[in-house]
Chains A and B, each alone.
Chain A
């Protein structure tokens, strides 16, 4: 773990106390005005690009937050190792990793902190619930924000020019899931469970719309929470409706045990869920109950992308753990920002924002281009099936999912 914020508070404190001891005039000005990218440093000094990264590093979603941060960190290390140049100058990327605890209030606090330190761009946040309130602060401060994983459509529909995401939103992914359920799984009677979080409910609602539009019947809509471990009673309810498919809107931490409990209840219908359950962890959590279920991930399978498997191996080597979920998207988010800066030859937001809007960059997870809202264009969604303890890709649904 590197320092989240090495230089600021302590020196400022020292300066302050120094000022109290001896009346100092200009010294106190140095701390706040040392903004990066101003071009003041000596001729050959590298251009410092500071990127903020925000995700929950404590609490129940900490493992995902750490994963995102690792993805972003890997991108930064790569950029520095490549000798990435911006405007003919070697650039040195720095990451300021912050913890928002998946709490909206903490989210705005760290957003303000990143705004204060005038980072060149922010990668994050992980959750929609923190991304949306934070986006207002970044917008006011004129900071570009690229979320690798927030899926709530609202985020990019607030009219903020600097808000982007490299991930299919709920509408895109829910639409693809709905089409898949009807076309490929031939589901006619679908039961839906969601975890009453912004993510789970949002995705489940969009799935319901898409499935209904395609002619499926939603036989029951049940609910759980993102902390629950016991799903016996709602699954029994699902059993009583003789559904032929169970859609779950939520994370792997519930989807896994739920798949297991399906089995103990003798309920042999397939489950379908979105990216939140599409993890390595799901197989561990579901055990032998994992086999045969379906999930979706935005983008194209890592194996099919140039450098995808290499990325997986390098990640494992560097952090000594497997990719949890969104690390490749966080990696892409950093790379796409760097690419826009390179094209603009500047780290100034006014200069690289137009480039980011126009970008067409071959990322790890997809060919990345943004529509006018800042959402990823033509967000492809890939469907996977659990086979022998791993997710094997079935089909990539390229999509004009956005209406």
Chain B
């Protein structure tokens, strides 16, 4: 078998092959490993979106954000409020019936509101840098979570710790994704339908990221990351550019949050804790900050690895030692921590750094 010689053609062939692989993935996985793995892949796609959003802030613009999950929460709660009976129950005087907005309205709205929150966070923190920015964003993330947890009184806006239940699944072309349905003679389970929906949006997010990276704005972000003073001297409006980074990054978080709410059917504040923020940050950093492919890899790895370990740890130990020495649950987290340390030690620029970053880091190392 020979590959076509033309590199362009080869690239195109690669894309087609990847496309086919992505298209049949849920069926292959679902048939061999069960729908739970399709569900895990669905969540992995949400994490890819989140990581790509955070990558704009951390990877492109170099602003360390430890409260990113707040935007995910904002998107999720907005979707929940607009697609569940909660508002109608809590404020019967205002809402005669349960709002059931179209997903095509709710998602952009969620993106917009999350983006506004991003700018809101960005504005007071413009002058902060480095670790101070980290702690302020961390505080911001916690504040959002605490408010979501407590806004059930005096007005019951979020239903507090009880969370919002009975959220409608996304409906596309009149077909709810919440139940399995038949299409062209194929039985499509809910998780598979969600897979295609999430995949389409993930591809859109990737496309936007790639276009952003090569745009004027993308180069301005990199300039700020490398040297803010020099960037300003070059005539870059650092304030607006930074705010755009916060805003756009938050937008993706908002979309992912909306998808999460529709997929789960239930949101509660405990899904949006600090550890989740740290997890997304690890995906970005582990994969390779500022490198889109690397970030996708990081997100997939960290989203899937715990599951692989959870399902594989006990049998492997049984096979090696004849008994289970360490609970798979503990082992999973332990290995996760060890992996973080080892990867940072041996590949500090991430598992898959961009060629440009690699060169820069090499140059840095010489100076230091």
Contact = CB atoms under 8 A, between A and B. Distances in A.
Interface of A: 1-6, 8-10, 12, 15-16, 28, 31-32, 57-58, 62, 99, 101-105, 108-110, 112-113, 115-117, 128-129, 132-133, 136, 140, 152, 154, 158, 196-198, 200-202, 223
B327 interface: yes
Interface stretch (B119-127, B229-237, B286-294, B328-336): B328-336
Given A9-B312, A12-B33, 13 more contacts: A6-B314, A6-B315, A9-B315, A10-B315, A99-B310, A104-B163, A109-B43, A113-B34, A116-B34, A132-B266, A133-B264, A154-B165, A201-B152
A116 B35 contact: yes
A350 B334 CA distance: 42
B207 interface: no
A112 B318 contact: no
A128 B310 CA distance: 23
Interface of B: 31-36, 39-40, 43, 149-150, 152, 160-163, 165-166, 179, 190-191, 260, 264-268, 270-271, 307, 310-312, 314-315, 318, 324, 327-330, 332-333
B312 A136 contact: no
A109 B150 contact: no
B150 A196 contact: yes
Contact of B264 (A2, A62, A108, A113): A108
Contact of B271 (A62, A105, A136): A105
Contacts, number: 117
B318 A201 contact: no
Q: For the complex, would chain A's binding face be called helix, strand, loop or mixed by DSSP majority?
A: helix
Contacts of B40: 109
Contacts of B152: 201
Given A132-B163, A196-B149, A99 B329 contact: yes
B163 A112 contact: no
B39 A108 contact: yes
B39 A158 contact: no
Given A104-B266, A105-B271, A140-B179, A112 B35 contact: yes
Contacts of B35: 112, 115-116
A201 B161 contact: yes
**Residue with the greatest number of chain B CB neighbours at <10 A, chosen from A10, A136, A223:** A136
Q: A-B pairs with the 9 shortest C-beta distances?
A: A116-B34, A113-B36, A133-B266, A112-B36, A58-B329, A112-B39, A198-B161, A201-B161, A57-B329
Contacts of B191: 112
A113 B33 CA distance: 9
Contacts of B328: 1, 4
Contact of A4 (B162, B179, B314): B314
A99 B260 CA distance: 21
Nearest to A116: B34
Contacts of A223: 150
A113 B36 CA distance: 5
Contacts of A115: 35-36
A104 B271 contact: yes
